[in-house]
């Protein structure tokens, strides 16, 4: 029917305002919105025909609570009706009275009815008079805590303190003990005053574990009252409904009928007009109690509309215009229900943090839809800013189906389709509710959420696309965050792996022998093989030595299938361990374990080899023995076959630990003798031929499968190589010998040919484009030099050529990490810097501002080595020498200065730890008196460092990691990563939480910004590809941020990034730290009160600051006892989560 009204204003905001405007538009009414200054760009303003600001100079909430302002706009806009929505002034009798005096229809009850029902104490009197059962409560308003105590003395605990003039869960606190009353009363009153403008309170006996069921009523001006059945609103948190359904599930029909009758009886008794809700509690025995009447439309009215087909908001407007039920063609008999409807309130709250409201800009918003789904929202769109000043409701999702189970399935499907980024939501909590067995069985009461704390546990949210956009935006604004990059730009030409038929089988290889017959037989067959076998180091040591270990997993994965097919006869592919583990986590932001797992799947036929630093695993220090054993076991289980074990001092006790760990895990034990000096020079007596043969003998006696000569610097000249391999072959004729070198001095190929002639079994080489100089000798030269002879490697030249084309292009992508070396190092035999350290030492020199003194650093390296006693130099002992060398150059110290100042100079930590025996015991002992002078009374370790370390409780570490990273599934390998590199792993996890798995990105855009207009494709999983285009980067704003604009799969996205170079911007508030006494804001909000001053002594749990967010108040308590050293906030401050509130000095 047509309405007598012509123009209606909604005195509200957000979702309910939009709902009213839609209903009015369908009735052909003109609509008027009001908005606060804070809401000036809010969506509800634009959904009305006209919109006017209210509350100039008032608070954000006060603007909507000002009757004078509402009536001013209503008069000026010439409206003939005001719909109050819910909340704010919806139950305010004075607004209804003002409307009546101005001749404006109020869409709701009369002022008299509002006074009677809006005051919860008066409503109780009416219910008592109508014979409706009541929960015991106070007879009238309670003004003081003393009055509250007097009531509690009569009825006992627990009680609930409630706002007399409000609803929606605000201004309510349950009190279970006397010591809780003062705080609960104060907080409830403060919330009520803020939300409703009235702090009047009353008390009721708190009914334990009730169901909350309400009856929807509708009454016309002719005195007719009908009900539209009931709704179950038992799923609540903080007394605020979260999930509602109509009709109530599994409720006895007699009880339903009693509820309907009592609701209608009470409405008639008070002379009710328009829509309202009569709310009841049902105790576990099935008795119902009246609690209140909400004389307004309810948030959850949607479920009633869905099952009855009655548009309640249109009915409100029509009744306010004078229509009767006869006009509306409504009667009790004509209304029935069909199916089940369930509504979920999607809010910007974090369930894992006690449902604390979140605020900020919505970066992404994608909602669910489809048959049987209804959405009612007010601020759900990309770019919307969620304010801390208002309700946290984002959108209401209502599903309707013919059965309860079908409705739940629809609702779950719709929620799963939602994508909201930029603010936290409760969607994960809602999904947990909908899947909980008790909910599905209808066994739900108001304590449901508190009874099952697992409901608030967040489901892992991948959020992959938006996190990657955040990373790309940060790179676009601030540049790449990968240390060691030069100004040279990465190549824009992506490397292309050799093609092969998709159905091409993977040829068998040496791993098939190992898997079938075990390490011992594998070693025997390697020894019996006449051709020289090769280990390809391209996947690890080659790029570690040539490109600072910066090659990413994505580029290895791309060429791995071709490598498996073109080089199936490799002895091994060295692809893990050493520095790659640390660098992957620290600089590439990748998980090294995932690298291993992905490559293992693609290369099933070639043995994988890793570099194990003995008792140091893949770290730079000693670890508890159980950590090393657990690490090796995990590496073996995930695909490592050959473990090259070394110790940076050739200290056999450290080597033995690695040998034992690999043996227990079932891997191939390749024990290393680290080579330095020159066995062909009679004057170099410390590291003689006899020393190396004796050392090898100790390793063989321990039990090894392969003996390795590890020449870290490329010092092994051809003649010396022949001598050493011949001596070892004579001593151990049945044991395979594997030789590793670097080509820094240019003799690498010649030396490898010499060891082949001397009957070594395996040598390390690299593909030509990443070979030579500080890397390994080139595979091509070794292969071709031996082709046709009895040591022929059998490697086809075209296989090398095909793979090298890929690596040639890949190396250009990594051009920013080139060493700058243009030729071989003639001074190698003076400084003896290992190839793997050479590039890193250059990077460190640049970082220290010593790049121009690189020749001096190389000379100082030799001097530092001499001061320290002429060491085996490989990680971590090489780091000790390098640190001392740079220390000397940075401070302009000569050898005599270092020796003279041993007792006073502040030496690098690595040097002190080495002299303290933290790496083990060097050949010939430590240099004295230098060692004693540097230690200055510190007690040194005299044996194996790990032997004195207690076992690490890995289970406890896992628990700590799960607590620190609650949204991450912590795997066994994550525990090991954290055990080896605790700070690095923490930073990696923080980066991954913020930016996602950046290993998916193409290398060039990982290392350099996208260009405007550039498009990239990112495969995030099989069958899912993101198409990303950078469209623009804004100018810097007053807060120091830039907005970066993208298209993601054709849809606009934007990310706001702080410009690290910005200086003239607004200061940021200080952030809390991880220290126990540093107290941060648990949520965004406004400071309502500060309860402490500097110097106050506080106990753990004592309130410090009260925050208000979205009209909910939270007391921030002291996490520890102590003395207040500093208060960082004042009343009125607007804070973000994590901003510093106070600092406590603890005992």
- Quick check: 345 and 241 in contact, CB under 8 A? yes
* Region 276-303 average pLDDT: 94
Shared domain check, 166 and 57: no
Domain that holds residue 601: 518-816
Shared domain check, 932 and 862: yes
User: For the residues of 81-104, what is the DSSP string, one character each?
Assistant: EEE--SSTTTT-HHHHHHHHHHT-
Shared domain check, 389 and 274: yes
Shared domain check, 714 and 582: yes
Shared domain check, 753 and 621: yes
What's the half-sphere exposure (Cβ side, CA atoms, 13 Å) at 986? 9
- Quick check: 328 and 228 in contact, CB under 8 A? no
- Residue at 49 is within a domain: yes
pLDDT of residue 1068: 64
Is the CA virtual torsion 92, 95, 101, 107 positive or negative? negative
| Domains identified in the chain, total number | 6
pLDDT of residue 383: 83
Shared domain check, 810 and 714: yes
pLDDT of 357 > 60? The answer is yes
pLDDT of 123 > 90? The answer is no
Q: What's the pLDDT tens digit per position in 1094-1126? A: 999 999 888 899 887 655 677 788 889 999 999
Shared domain check, 174 and 242: no
Shared domain check, 224 and 200: no
Q: What's the pLDDT tens digit per position in 442-461? A: 999 999 999 999 998 877 66
The CATH number for 60's domain is 3.40.50.20
Q: Which residues make Cβ contacts (< 8 Å) with residue 601, sequence separation at least 6?
A: none
* Region 59-79 average pLDDT: 96
More confident residue, 361 or 851: 361
Using CA atoms, how far residue 861 sits from 244, 547, 650, 857, 873, in Å, is: 74, 21, 20, 6, 11
Shared domain check, 66 and 55: yes
CA distance 582 to 232: 55
* Region 116-131 average pLDDT: 84
pLDDT of residue 1133: 87
Shared domain check, 685 and 567: yes
CA distance 100 to 1138: 48
Angle of helix 404-417 relative to helix 427-435, nearest 10 degrees, comes to 160
pLDDT of residue 835: 79
Question: Between the ranges 1-15, 623-637, 813-827, 1089-1103, where is the mean pLDDT highest?
Answer: 623-637
Burial degree of 483 (CB within 10 A; 0-12, 13-18, 19+): middle
Burial degree of 19 (CB within 10 A; 0-12, 13-18, 19+): buried
- Residue at 264 is within a domain: yes
pLDDT of residue 501: 86
Helices (H) and strands (E) in the chain, counts: 41, 42
Residue 311 confidence class, pLDDT cut points 50, 70, 90: very high
- Residue at 727 is within a domain: yes
pLDDT of residue 191: 86
Task: Show the tokens assigned to 675.
Answer: 């080579």
- Residue at 171 is within a domain: yes
- Quick check: 1103 and 183 in contact, CB under 8 A? yes
Could you list the active site residues?
A: 296
Give the helix, strand, coil percentages of the chain, each rounded to 5.
Answer: 40, 20, 40
Question: Between the ranges 89-103, 144-158, 1062-1076, where is the mean pLDDT highest?
Answer: 89-103
Residue ending a domain, among 432, 449, 466, is 449
CA distance 1053 to 1016: 15
pLDDT of residue 1110: 54
pLDDT of residue 948: 86
- Residue at 502 is within a domain: no
Strands 762-765 vs 533-536: parallel, antiparallel or unpaired: parallel
Shared domain check, 776 and 748: yes
Give the H/E segment covering residue 154. helix 145-155
- Residue at 1000 is within a domain: no
pLDDT of 1147 > 70? The answer is no
* Region 910-936 average pLDDT: 93
CA distance 201 to 143: 7
pLDDT exceeding 70 applies to what percent of the chain?
98
Q: What's the pLDDT tens digit per position in 455-501? A: 988 776 678 898 999 999 999 999 999 988 989 999 999 999 999 88
**Cα radius of gyration (the chain):** 38
Residue 551 confidence class, pLDDT cut points 50, 70, 90: very high
* Region 878-884 average pLDDT: 92
Q: What's the pLDDT tens digit per position in 699-739? A: 999 999 999 999 999 999 999 999 999 999 999 999 999 99
* Region 583-611 average pLDDT: 97
pLDDT exceeding 90 applies to what percent of the chain?
75
- Residue 352 in 3-state DSSP? helix
Residue ending a domain, among 791, 816, 841, is 816
Shared domain check, 425 and 327: yes
The CATH number for 882's domain is 1.10.472.90
E-strand stretches of 371-428: 373-377, 385-386, 393-401, 419-421
Task: Show the tokens assigned to 674.
Answer: 């680290």
Q: How many beta carbons lie within 10 A of that of residue 176, not counting itself? A: 12
- Residue at 560 is within a domain: yes
pLDDT of residue 1063: 65
Q: What is the dihedral of CA 302, 308, 310, 311, to 10 degrees?
A: 10
The CATH number for 247's domain is 3.30.470.20
CA distance 751 to 719: 8
Q: Which of 465, 440, 464 is nearest to 452 (CA)?
A: 440
Q: Which residues make Cβ contacts (< 8 Å) with residue 516, sequence separation at least 6?
A: none
- Quick check: 306 and 341 in contact, CB under 8 A? yes
Residue ending a domain, among 402, 433, 449, is 449
Q: What's the pLDDT tens digit per position in 800-810? A: 999 999 999 99
CA distance 252 to 272: 27
pLDDT of residue 285: 85
Q: What's the pLDDT tens digit per position in 375-402? A: 999 888 888 888 888 888 999 999 999 9
- Residue at 944 is within a domain: yes
CA distance 386 to 348: 8
Residue 844 confidence class, pLDDT cut points 50, 70, 90: confident
Residue 2 confidence class, pLDDT cut points 50, 70, 90: low
Q: What's the pLDDT tens digit per position in 189-205? A: 988 888 777 888 889 88
Task: Show the tokens assigned to 553.
Answer: 């997993």
The CATH number for 1097's domain is 2.40.50.100
């Amino acid at each position: 029917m047509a309405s007598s009204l012509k123009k209606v204003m909604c005195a509200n905001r957000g979702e309910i305002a939009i709902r009213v405007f839609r209903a009015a538009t369908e009735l052909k009414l003109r609509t008027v919105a009001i908005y606060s200054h804070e809401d000036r760009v809010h969506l509800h303003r634009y959904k009305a025909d006209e919109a006017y600001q209210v509350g100039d100079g008032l608070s954000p909430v006060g603007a909507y609570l000002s009757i004078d302002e509402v009536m001013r706009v209503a008069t000026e806009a010439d409206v003939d009706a005001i719909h109050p929505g819910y909340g704010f002034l919806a139950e305010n009798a004075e607004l209804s009275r003002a409307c009546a005096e101005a001749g404006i229809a109020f869409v709701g009850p009369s002022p008299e009815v509002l006074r009677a029902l809006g005051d919860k104490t008066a409503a109780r009197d009416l219910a008592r008079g109508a014979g409706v059962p009541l929960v015991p409560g106070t007879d009238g308003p309670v003004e003081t805590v003393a009055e509250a105590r007097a009531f509690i003395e009569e009825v006992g605990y627990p009680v609930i303190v409630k706002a007399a003039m409000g609803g929606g869960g605000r201004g309510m606190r349950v009190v279970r003990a006397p010591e809780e009353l003062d705080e609960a009363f104060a907080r409830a009153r403060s919330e009520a005053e803020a939300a409703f403008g009235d702090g009047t309170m009353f008390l009721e006996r708190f009914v334990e574990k009730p169901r909350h069921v309400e009856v929807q009523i509708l009454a016309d001006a002719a005195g007719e009252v009908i009900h539209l059945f009931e709704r179950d609103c038992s799923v609540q948190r903080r007394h605020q409904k979260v999930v509602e359904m109509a009709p109530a599930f599994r409720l006895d029909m007699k009880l339903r009928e009693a509820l309907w009758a009592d609701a209608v009886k009470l409405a008639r008794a008070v002379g009710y007009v328009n829509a309202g809700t009569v709310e009841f509690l049902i105790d576990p025995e099935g008795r119902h109690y009246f609690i209140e009447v909400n004389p307004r439309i309810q948030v959850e009215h949607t479920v009633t509309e869905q099952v009855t087909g009655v548009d309640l908001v249109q009915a409100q407007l029509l009744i306010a215009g004078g229509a009767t039920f006869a006009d509306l063609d409504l009667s009790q008999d004509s209304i029935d229900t069909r199916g089940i409807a369930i509504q979920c309130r999607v809010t910007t709250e974090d369930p894992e943090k006690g449902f604390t409201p979140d605020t900020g800009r919505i970066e992404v918003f994608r909602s669910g839809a489809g048959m049987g789904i209804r959405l009612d929202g007010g601020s759900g769109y990309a770019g919307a800013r969620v304010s801390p000043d208002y309700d946290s409701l984002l959108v209401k999702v209502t599903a309707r189906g013919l059965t309860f189970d079908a409705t739940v399935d629809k609702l779950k499907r719709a929620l799963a389709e939602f994508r909201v980024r930029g603010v936290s939501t409760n969607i994960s909590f809602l999904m947990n509710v909908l899947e909980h067995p008790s909910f599905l069985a209808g066994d739900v009461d108001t304590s449901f959420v508190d009874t099952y704390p697992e409901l608030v546990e967040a489901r892992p949210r991948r959020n992959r696309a938006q996190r990657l956009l955040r990373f790309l935006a940060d790179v676009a604004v601030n540049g790449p965050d990968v240390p060691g990059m030069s100004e040279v730009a990465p190549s824009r030409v992506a490397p292309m792996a050799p093609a092969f038929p998709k159905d091409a089988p993977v040829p068998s290889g040496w791993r098939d022998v190992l898997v079938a017959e075990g390490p011992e037989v594998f070693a025997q067959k390697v020894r019996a093989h006449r051709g020289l076998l090769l280990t390809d180091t391209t996947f690890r040591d080659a790029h570690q030595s040539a490109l600072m270990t910066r090659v990413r997993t994505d580029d290895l994965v791309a060429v791995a299938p071709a490598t498996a097919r073109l080089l199936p006869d490799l002895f091994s592919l060295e692809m893990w361990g050493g520095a790659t583990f640390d660098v992957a986590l620290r600089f590439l932001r990748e998980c090294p374990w995932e690298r291993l797992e992905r490559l293992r799947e693609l290369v099933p036929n070639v043995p994988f080899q890793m570099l194990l630093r003995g008792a140091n695993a893949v770290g730079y220090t000693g670890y508890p023995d159980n950590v090393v054993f657990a690490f090796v076991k995990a590496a073996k289980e995930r695909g490592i076959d050959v473990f090259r074990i070394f110790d940076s001092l050739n200290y056999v006790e450290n080597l033995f630990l690695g040998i034992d760990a690999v043996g227990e895990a079932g891997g191939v034990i390749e024990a290393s003798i680290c080579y330095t000096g020159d066995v062909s020079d009679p004057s170099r007596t410390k590291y003689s031929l006899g020393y190396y043969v004796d050392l090898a003998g100790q390793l063989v006696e321990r039990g090894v499968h392969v003996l390795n000569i590890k020449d870290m610097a490329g010092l092994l000249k051809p003649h010396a190589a022949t001598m050493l391999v011949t001596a070892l072959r004579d001593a151990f004729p049945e044991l395979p010998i594997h030789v590793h070198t670097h080509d820094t001095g240019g003799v690498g190929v010649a030396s490898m040919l010499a060891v082949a002639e001397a009957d070594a079994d395996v040598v390390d080489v690299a593909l030509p484009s990443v070979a030579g100089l500080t890397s390994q000798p080139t595979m091509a030269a070794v292969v071709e030099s031996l082709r046709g002879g009895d040591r022929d490697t059998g490697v086809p030249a075209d296989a090398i050529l095909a793979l090298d084309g890929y690596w040639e292009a890949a190396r250009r992508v990594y051009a920013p990490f080139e060493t700058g070396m243009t030729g071989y190092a003639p001074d190698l035999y003076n400084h003896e810097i290992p190839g793997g350290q050479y590039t890193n030492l250059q990077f460190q020199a640049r970082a220290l501002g010593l790049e121009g003194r690189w020749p001096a650093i190389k000379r100082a390296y030799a001097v530092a080595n001499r001061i320290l006693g002429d060491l085996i130099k490989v990680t971590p002992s090489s780091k000790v020498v390098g640190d001392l060398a740079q220390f000397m150059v940075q401070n302009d110290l000569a050898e005599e200065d270092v020796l003279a100042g041993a007792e006073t100079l502040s030496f690098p930590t690595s040097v002190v730890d080495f002299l303290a025996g933290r790496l083990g015991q060097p050949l010939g002992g430590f240099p004295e008196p230098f060692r004693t002078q540097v230690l200055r009374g510190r007690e040194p370790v005299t044996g194996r460092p790990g032997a004195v370390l207690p076992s690490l409780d890995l289970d406890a570490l896992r628990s700590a990691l799960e607590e620190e990273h609650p949204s991450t599934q912590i795997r066994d390998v994550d525990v090991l990563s954290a055990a080896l590199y605790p700070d690095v792993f923490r930073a990696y996890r923080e980066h991954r939480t913020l930016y996602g798995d950046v290993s998916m990105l193409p290398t060039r855009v990982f290392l350099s910004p996208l260009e405007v207009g550039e498009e990239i494709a990112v495969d995030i999983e099989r069958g899912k590809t993101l198409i990303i285009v950078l469209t623009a980067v804004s100018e810097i704003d007053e807060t120091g941020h830039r907005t970066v604009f993208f298209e993601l799969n054709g849809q606009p996205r934007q990310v706001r990034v702080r410009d690290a170079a910005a200086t003239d911007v607004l200061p940021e508030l200080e952030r809390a730290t991880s220290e126990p006494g540093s107290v941060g804001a648990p949520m965004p909000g406004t400071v309502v009160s500060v309860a402490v001053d500097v110097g106050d002594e506080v106990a753990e749990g004592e309130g410090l600051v009260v925050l208000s967010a979205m009209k909910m108040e939270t007391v921030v308590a002291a996490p520890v006892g102590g003395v207040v050293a500093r208060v960082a906030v004042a009343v009125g401050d607007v804070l973000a989560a994590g901003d510093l509130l106070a600092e406590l000095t603890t005992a």
